[in-house]
């Protein structure tokens, strides 16, 4: 939440609270958003809510999204998923793609609304088309599992490529799995290795573990138990117990 607002409001970061309040009172909605964030950081959620309500009522998408955060988590208000969805949707319709993502998540989980994967897909698609990598990730999951859509590995792949390119590590890992299994693509261990490498380098324990498995089995790469051990060790360091077990086995074998 803080990261999103800070990125959006970087230009206001050098202003003091008094100046922000003056600007907000004069109709500067970005100032209202940023001042709300300051109150939010100080856990004065009531004051943050008042400022974000003012911004949202004036058509500010970020203010609406921020109100959704408060209602979803019960910060300064009674937790209310239905109201959270209302504000997320309003934000989404005004061009805030994070709002689209969270609207989709509420429909996907049935929070504040009846669970509806088809509606979730609509919002994930809007988020993804707007450049939201996490929205692309969840869209791919729906196509993978055939939830709210006909199962389609090709579309899952397309969504995850956009997500992976946008920095979503889980999507990079999932692409590796598609190439290992030959789902929606021709089986290609070399390409799987590329995606697992990207995931591993970005901190995915599963990406590192699967790289270890490829090197251990000689799939898409020349078999090399020492390199396999290295990647299993990385997976272990990232909290993957299977990686720890495989590292120990190879270590006992003298690799």
Q: Please write the tens of the pLDDT for every residue from 64-119.
A: 999 999 999 999 999 999 999 999 999 999 999 999 999 999 999 999 999 999 99
Mean pLDDT of the chain: 93
Q: Residue 4 above 70 pLDDT?
A: no
Q: What is the pTM of this model?
A: 0.88
Cα atoms in the 13 Å half-sphere on the side-chain side of 6:
7
Q: What is the mean pLDDT of residues 19-23?
A: 89
pLDDT on residue 202: 96
pLDDT band at 18 (very low <50, low <70, confident <90, very high): confident
Q: Are 160 and 175 in contact (CB under 8 A)?
A: yes
Q: Using one digit for the tens of pLDDT, what is the confidence trace for 33-59?
A: 999 999 999 999 999 999 999 999 999
Q: Using one digit for the tens of pLDDT, what is the confidence trace for 197-227?
A: 999 999 999 999 999 999 999 999 999 999 9
Can you tell me the distance from the alpha carbon of 188 to that of 42, in angstroms, rounded to the nearest whole number?
A: 51
Can you tell me the distance from the alpha carbon of 150 to that of 148, in angstroms, rounded to the nearest whole number?
A: 7
Q: Residue 1 above 90 pLDDT?
A: no
Four-point Cα dihedral 91, 151, 220, 209, nearest 10: 60
Q: Using one digit for the tens of pLDDT, what is the confidence trace for 170-180?
A: 999 999 999 99
pLDDT on residue 7: 39
| Domains detected in the chain | 173-255 (1.25.40.10)
pLDDT on residue 21: 87
Q: Residue 9 above 60 pLDDT?
A: no
């Amino acid at each position: 939440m803080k990261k999103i607002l800070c990125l959006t409001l970087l230009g206001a970061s050098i202003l003091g609270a008094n100046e922000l309040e003056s600007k907000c009172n004069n109709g500067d909605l970005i100032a209202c958003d940023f001042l709300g964030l300051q109150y939010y950081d100080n856990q004065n959620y009531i004051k943050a809510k008042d400022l974000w309500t003012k911004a949202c009522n004036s058509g500010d998408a970020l203010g609406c999204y921020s109100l959704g955060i408060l209602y979803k988590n019960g910060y300064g208000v009674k937790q209310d998923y239905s109201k959270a969805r209302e504000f997320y949707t309003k934000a989404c319709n005004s061009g805030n793609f994070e709002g689209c993502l969270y609207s989709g998540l509420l429909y996907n989980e049935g929070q504040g609304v009846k669970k509806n994967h088809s509606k979730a897909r609509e919002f994930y698609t809007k988020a993804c088309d707007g450049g939201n990598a996490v929205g692309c990730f969840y869209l791919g999951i729906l196509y993978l599992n055939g939830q709210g859509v006909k199962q389609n590995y090709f579309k899952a792949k397309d969504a995850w490529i956009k997500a992976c390119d946008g920095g979503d590590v889980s999507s990079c890992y999932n692409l590796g799995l598609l190439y290992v299994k030959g789902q929606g693509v021709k089986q290609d261990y070399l390409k799987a290795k590329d995606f697992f490498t990207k995931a591993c380098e970005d901190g995915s324990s599963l990406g590192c573990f699967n790289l270890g498995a490829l090197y251990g089995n000689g799939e898409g790469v020349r078999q090399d138990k020492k390199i396999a051990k290295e990647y299993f060790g990385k997976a272990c360091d990232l909290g993957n117990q299977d990686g720890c077990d495989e590292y120990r086995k190879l270590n006992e074998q003298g690799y």
